[in-house]
């Protein structure tokens, strides 16, 4: 099976054509209830199908949160497989938000689940945790390169607890989050138009000018909407790398369901606010 064009190149094209917005598919129990759906397989399937139907042909990226499907067992995974397949068929890139991280053969198995092209859960990119050491990601990096997929590595996350690890200072004086960014810059060196190995950096973190965010890869920016950040905050957080930022909105869009038109309108509003914010730099 021939590899795809590298994820970074495909993402650059999608962002240029559709704008950079990423919308999460997060079918947690409270959202299902808000939609008038039961917290069961039928509700999960209706929720996921509606989001894909509404948005997969208009946004650059859809990001299903694997945990909300896994909690239903094998039937939930079947819904996730279908959602990934239909979203990609409609032209959206799929970032699987699974935050996998382990070592050796276990990390390789996680990579095969989401990054092997003939896997039922094959996604364009996968979120991963490097906190068993960046080198533990080697099996995922190798398979992503082979298949034309990408990774988003947790670097400076939007949750307040993240600083406990990510701001810890190493013996060389650089903190852990900055170290992850440096690894990604090396991974993406020389790639054009954009490397395939991105960072997760929270949009809620304020001025990050003390960090070198120029990793030559995409930056997935959660925290917009329910967590308090707005599209207008993005230039101040990301500065000169703004063009490579993929702003992520979940509840801010999803709460407008189950009406397809309302979901599309909410997505379009965020997309326009992002376009205006990016135009200021």
Catalytic residues: 99
β-pair partners for 272 = none
Per the CB < 8 A criterion, the answer to whether 252 and 22 are in contact is no
CA distances to 134, 168, 207, 239 from 97, rounded to whole Å, are 18, 25, 25, 25
CA distances to 23, 52, 121, 146, 266 from 90, rounded to whole Å, are 15, 8, 16, 24, 19
* Cβ-proximal residues to 131 (8 Å cutoff; 6+ apart), any chain: 101, 154, 165
Exposed / middle / buried, residue 274 (Cβ in 10 Å: 0-12, 13-18, 19+) = buried
Residue with token string 């650089």: 174
Residue with token string 């054009």: 192
β-pair partners for 127 = 152
DSSP state for residue 82 in the 8-state scheme: H
């Amino acid at each position: 099976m021939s590899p795809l064009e590298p994820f970074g190149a495909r993402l650059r094209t999608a962002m240029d054509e559709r704008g950079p917005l990423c919308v999460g598919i997060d079918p947690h129990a409270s959202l299902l209830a808000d939609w008038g759906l039961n917290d069961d397989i039928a509700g999960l399937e209706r929720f996921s199908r509606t989001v894909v139907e509404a948005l997969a042909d208009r946004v650059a990226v859809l990001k299903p949160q694997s945990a909300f499907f896994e909690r239903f067992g094998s039937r939930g995974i079947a819904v996730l497989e279908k959602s990934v397949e239909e979203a990609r068929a409609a032209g959206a890139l799929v970032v699987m938000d699974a935050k996998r991280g382990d070592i050796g053969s276990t990390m390789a198995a996680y990579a095969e689940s989401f990054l092997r092209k003939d896997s039922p859960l094959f996604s364009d990119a996968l979120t991963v945790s490097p906190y068993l050491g960046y080198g533990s990601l080697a099996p995922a990096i190798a398979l992503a390169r082979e298949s034309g997929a990408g990774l988003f590595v947790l670097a400076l996350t939007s949750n307040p607890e993240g600083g406990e690890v990510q701001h810890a200072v190493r013996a060389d004086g650089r903190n852990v989050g900055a170290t992850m960014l440096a690894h990604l810059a090396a991974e993406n060196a020389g790639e054009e138009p954009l490397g395939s190995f991105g960072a997760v950096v929270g949009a809620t973190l304020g001025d990050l000018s003390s960090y070198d965010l120029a990793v030559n890869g995409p930056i997935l920016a959660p925290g917009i909407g329910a967590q308090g950040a707005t599209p207008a905050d993005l230039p101040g957080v990301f500065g000169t790398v703004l063009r490579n930022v993929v702003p992520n909105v979940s509840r801010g869009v999803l709460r407008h369901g189950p009406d397809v038109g309302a979901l599309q309108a909410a997505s379009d509003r965020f997309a326009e606010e992002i376009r205006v914010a990016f135009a200021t730099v």
